[in-house]
């Protein structure tokens, strides 16, 4: 696993870096290709927080945890991500397309780049994301959205070859937005 460990108003000590690498490396067994892990450590009030994102074969597994102790937060992050992988492995295995998990091949929205900044207009843009869209069906998009913990997900519909958006409604059901020419 490749690691990108970032401290936000937090000094990362060598023992913490080694602990992160040791714990997250245990998740390598789930993946065919070498995944990349982005871990952000910081402090909010009296608590430490850890945010981890693992990208593997186009799939994104993400979790955030706050705790009084950074090492216990890291343990919790690993548990959360492992639960995500195990929970979705069987559902996603049914939609085999391109490699990600060791026992099944998964597909998602692909790689993305984040940029911090603003647009200079009356509306402040605090983050920009650019990502490639891989074709998937609506059910795969909903699974990926739930994995990320987001309320919406942009994807390229494999049936129509158009960009679509799925989102979770207030009543807990899902909706699809399609473009009309």
* Residue-range domain boundaries for the chain: 2-93, 112-178
CB atoms within 10 A of CB 76: 16
pLDDT at 59: 78
pLDDT in tens, 20-57: 999 998 888 887 778 899 999 988 888 888 999 998 87
d(CA 177, CA 142): 12
pLDDT at 93: 59
Fold for 2-93, please state it: Double Stranded RNA Binding Domain (3.30.160)
Q: What are phi and psi of 93, to 5 degrees?
A: -65, -25
Range 112-178: architecture per CATH: 2-Layer Sandwich (3.30)
Task: Record the pTM.
Answer: 0.57
Contact (CB, 8 A) for 140 and 95: yes
pLDDT at 91: 62
pLDDT at 94: 55
Task: Specify the 3-state DSSP secondary structure of 158.
Answer: coil
Contact (CB, 8 A) for 68 and 46: yes
Residues of the chain with pLDDT under 50: 96-116, 118-119
């Amino acid at each position: 696993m490749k690691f990108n460990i970032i401290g936000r108003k937090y000094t990362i000590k060598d023992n913490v870096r080694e602990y992160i690498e040791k714990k997250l490396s245990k998740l390598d067994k789930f993946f065919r290709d070498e995944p990349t892990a982005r871990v952000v450590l910081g402090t909010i009030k009296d608590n430490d927080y850890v945010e981890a994102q693992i990208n593997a074969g186009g799939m994104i597994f993400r979790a955030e945890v706050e705790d009084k102790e950074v090492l216990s937060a890291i343990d919790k992050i690993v548990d959360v991500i492992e639960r995500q992988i195990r929970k979705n492995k069987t559902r996603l295995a049914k939609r085999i397309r391109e490699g990600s998990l060791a026992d099944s091949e998964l597909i998602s929205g692909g790689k993305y780049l984040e940029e911090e900044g603003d647009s200079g207009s009356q509306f402040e843009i605090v983050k920009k994301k650019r990502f490639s869209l891989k074709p998937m069906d609506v059910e795969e998009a909903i699974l990926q959205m739930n994995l990320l913990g987001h309320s919406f997900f942009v994807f390229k519909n494999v049936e129509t070859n158009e960009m679509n958006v799925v989102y979770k409604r207030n009543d807990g059901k899902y909706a699809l937005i399609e473009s009309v020419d």
